[in-house]
């Protein structure tokens, strides 16, 4: 067996294990009947508050990150007057992740 064949086999095994883990986790959550909820309240920020929270970040950049799907968000209401809310934890996690990758 060549090294390439071994690497392909290992990659397939890893994929199968990941799929199994995902299926088992989904089954466990469905057994519980609900997704576990943290006891900590979630702090949601508007786009302007996000820009103020991270030094050097503009409201335009936050909007672009939301549109690109890089930061999860929730839109409250409908139409032009709706607000986009972003979890403070998700915002900071995104910048910590890209800060560590640089």
pLDDT in tens, 40-86: 788 899 999 999 988 899 999 999 999 999 999 998 888 888 899 99
| pLDDT at residue 63, rounded to an integer | 94
Q: What is the largest distance, in Å, between two alpha-carbon atoms of the chain? A: 63
* pTM higher than the cut 0.75: no
The closest of 22, 93, 102, 13 to 53, measured between CA atoms, is 93
Query: 86 phi and psi, to 5 degrees?
Result: -130, 135
Asked whether the beta carbons of 84 and 98 are under 8 A apart, the reply is no
| pLDDT at residue 7, rounded to an integer | 85
pLDDT in tens, 1-12: 788 888 888 888
Q: How confident is the model at residue 27 (pLDDT cuts 50, 70, 90)?
A: low
What does the pLDDT average to over 14-21?
Answer: 77
| pLDDT at residue 11, rounded to an integer | 85
């Amino acid at each position: 067996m060549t090294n390439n064949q071994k690497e392909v086999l290992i990659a397939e095994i890893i994929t199968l294990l990941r799929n199994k883990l995902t299926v088992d986790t989904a089954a466990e959550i469905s057994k519980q009947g609900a997704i576990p909820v943290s006891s900590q309240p979630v702090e949601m920020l508007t786009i302007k508050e996000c820009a103020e929270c991270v030094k050097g970040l503009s409201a335009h950049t936050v909007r672009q990150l939301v549109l690109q799907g890089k930061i999860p968000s929730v839109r409250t209401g409908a139409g032009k007057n709706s607000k986009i809310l972003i979890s403070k934890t998700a915002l900071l996690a995104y910048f910590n992740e890209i800060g560590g990758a640089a």
